[in-house]
Structure 1
Amino acid sequence: MRYDNETVLKAFRLYAELAQRGVVEREGLQLYLADDEVRGLIDQFAREVDCLAMTAGDQLLLIPLVRLSPFHVSNEYLKKTYLHTKAVNADLYLLYVAVIVFVGAFYDSYQSVEPTRDFLPMDEWLGLVQERIEGLKEHDPEQLRKYEKEFSYNWSAIMEKWDAMDDIKETAKKQSGNTISRFSFMNTVRRFLLDQQLADEIGEDELVLTERAKIVVQRYFMELQHNRGILQFLYQFEEDRKNAEKTKEE
């Protein structure tokens, strides 16, 4: 398809803004929605850098689809920006698990399309992460090593990192940001979610999913077989217990 020069320039200016900020609103969103040719070019530009252009509420987003995309947030950036100076991959993977648990808390299963709750208190989120860690411990060590290879996650190191943190909640609020506690770690993950516009605060220590997060979950996260496998793995024992209880009731 051949495009006139004005259309290409419109699309390029819009894509340049999208690439720089990761999101555009108002006029840019309206142009993307109203002009089929501009939208086609934006989508093509996004595919060339292994990204997906998608609308979420009143925003147009640029979502990286693979780790090699130049727009993917690197592990080193996450360590430097959100974790402590001596952070290793296990710290980062624990952050990923906390994010997965946060998202999962809003859905009744990894196959859900719409959220089934409105908000998540911080203390409940911390408790849910604790449940997932305890669930990991129920796996046979040999089976756990098999899953480590399958998902490229060192589950044993993740459990060790979590267990090594001080189990402090109330007093952690008064301590420095460098305190290694579960509460301070969860605050770090919260800051990451807020910075990435995946969560909003609606009250003291209460978080909600943003429209951006819901769209990413529906259009991307839930559709990848690899991510779906991780969710199924993390929640496996909970599902087994639910099925066992259901069988007893019947």
Structure 2
Amino acid sequence: MNYSEQTVLKAFQIYTKLARDGVAGKEAVQQYRADDEIRGLLDAFGREVDCVIVGTSEQMFLIPETKLSPFHVSNEWIKRNYLRSGATNGDIYLLYFATIILFGSFYDTYQSQEPTRQFMRLEEWVRFIHERIDQLKTHRIEELKQFEKEFSYNWSLIIEKWDDMDDIKETAKKQAGNTISRFSFMDTVKRFLVDQELIQEIGNDEIILTEKAKTIVQRYFMEVEYNKGIFEFIYGFERNEENAVN
């Protein structure tokens, strides 16, 4: 297809903003929706860097789709910029787990297409994680190892990391200088998600989801193709209980 120079330039200007900031505003959204050629070019630019373009009525985002994307946030980058010195893959697993539980808490364990709550307090988030950890503990070690192969998540290590942390907010036991409080760790996860523009702090230890987060959850987290059945594993026992009641 032959594109005019003006069309290519306009599409590239929008892509440049997306590549630089990860987000573009309402004018870009309108052009993307109204002009098939601009939309086609932007989608092609995105595919070249293993990204997909998603948007709301007000904003559009450039989201990495694979680990090969130059815009993908690597585990090492997260360790270097957010986690304490000596952080391991266990800390990364727990950060991802905490994020999954956060989104699930806003979306009624991923059973709703729209958020079922407006905000969440940090202490609620910690409690919800603890409940999921307790659920993981109901599985035998052999089962967890099998699930680890299936989902590529080290569930045993997630449990171990969480249990090694103190649940006191202000003070934490010092065991070889390694133990930190759960609230301290969660504050780190919160800071990472705020910087990624997935959540926003509104005061009083309360957070809300951003439109970017809602778009990503609805586009990816709800699709089994992307979540690989992880949510069914984490929350499946609740469905089983509901079926038993029915």
Give the TM-score normalised by the residue count of structure 1: 0.90
Q: Take 1:226 and 1:31, find their aligned partners in 2: how far apart are those partners? A: 28
Question: Which residue in 1 is equivalent to 2:50?
Answer: 50
Question: Which residue in 2 is equivalent to 1:213?
Answer: 213
Say what the alpha-carbon RMSD is for the aligned residues.
Answer: 1.9
2:106 counterpart SS class: coil
The answer as to 2:191 corresponding to 1:191 is yes
Name the stretch that deviates more: 212-221 or 27-36: 27-36
Question: Which residue in 2 is equivalent to 1:232?
Answer: 232
Question: Which residue in 1 is equivalent to 2:87?
Answer: 87
Name the stretch that deviates more: 85-94 or 102-111: 102-111
Output one character per residue of 1:86-145: Cα deviation in whole Å (capped at 9) or x when no partner: 011110000000000000001124242111111111111100000011100001111110
Name the stretch that deviates more: 221-230 or 26-35: 26-35
- Asked if the contact 2:24–2:60 (Cα under 8 Å) also holds between the matched residues in 1, the reply is yes
Give the counterpart letter for 1:234 in structure 2. I
Question: Which residue in 2 is equivalent to 1:144?
Answer: 144
Q: Offset of 1:202 from its aligned partner?
A: 2.1
Q: Which runs of 5+ in 1 are unaligned?
A: none
- Asked if the contact 1:172–1:184 (Cα under 8 Å) also holds between the matched residues in 2, the reply is no
Output one character per residue of 1:148-196: Cα deviation in whole Å (capped at 9) or x when no partner: 1111111111111100011112x249xxxx9711000111111111111
Give the counterpart letter for 1:209 in structure 2. L
1:235 counterpart SS class: helix
Question: Which residue in 1 is equivalent to 2:9?
Answer: 9
Q: Take 1:104 and 1:161, find their aligned partners in 2: how far apart are those partners? A: 21
Q: Offset of 1:241 from its aligned partner?
A: 3.7
Q: Offset of 1:215 from its aligned partner?
A: 0.9
Q: Offset of 1:13 from its aligned partner?
A: 1.9
Q: Take 1:240 and 1:224, find their aligned partners in 2: how far apart are those partners? A: 18
Give the counterpart letter for 1:105 in structure 2. S
Q: Take 1:137 and 1:179, find their aligned partners in 2: how far apart are those partners? A: 21
Q: Which runs of 5+ in 2 are unaligned?
A: 173-177
Question: Which residue in 2 is equivalent to 1:32?
Answer: 32
- Asked if the contact 2:151–2:228 (Cα under 8 Å) also holds between the matched residues in 1, the reply is no
Q: Take 2:171 and 2:225, find their aligned partners in 1: how far apart are those partners? A: 38
Question: Which residue in 1 is equivalent to 2:105?
Answer: 105
Name the stretch that deviates more: 192-201 or 122-131: 192-201
Q: Take 1:150 and 1:80, find their aligned partners in 2: how far apart are those partners? A: 28
Give the counterpart letter for 1:103 in structure 2. F
Give the TM-score normalised by the residue count of structure 2: 0.91
- Asked if the contact 1:31–1:38 (Cα under 8 Å) also holds between the matched residues in 2, the reply is yes
Question: Which residue in 1 is equivalent to 2:77?
Answer: 77
User: Closer, same or farther in 2 for the Cα pair 1:57/1:185, shift >3 Å?
Assistant: farther
- Asked if the contact 1:167–1:182 (Cα under 8 Å) also holds between the matched residues in 2, the reply is yes
User: Closer, same or farther in 2 for the Cα pair 1:109/1:129, shift >3 Å?
Assistant: closer
- Asked if the contact 1:119–1:208 (Cα under 8 Å) also holds between the matched residues in 2, the reply is yes
Question: Which residue in 2 is equivalent to 1:180?
Answer: 180
Output one character per residue of 1:29-52: Cα deviation in whole Å (capped at 9) or x when no partner: 343334331122101111222211
2:54 counterpart SS class: strand
Query: Percent identity between the aligned chains?
Result: 58
Q: Take 2:179 and 2:133, find their aligned partners in 1: how far apart are those partners? A: 21
Q: Offset of 1:26 from its aligned partner?
A: 4.1
Give the counterpart letter for 1:52 in structure 2. V
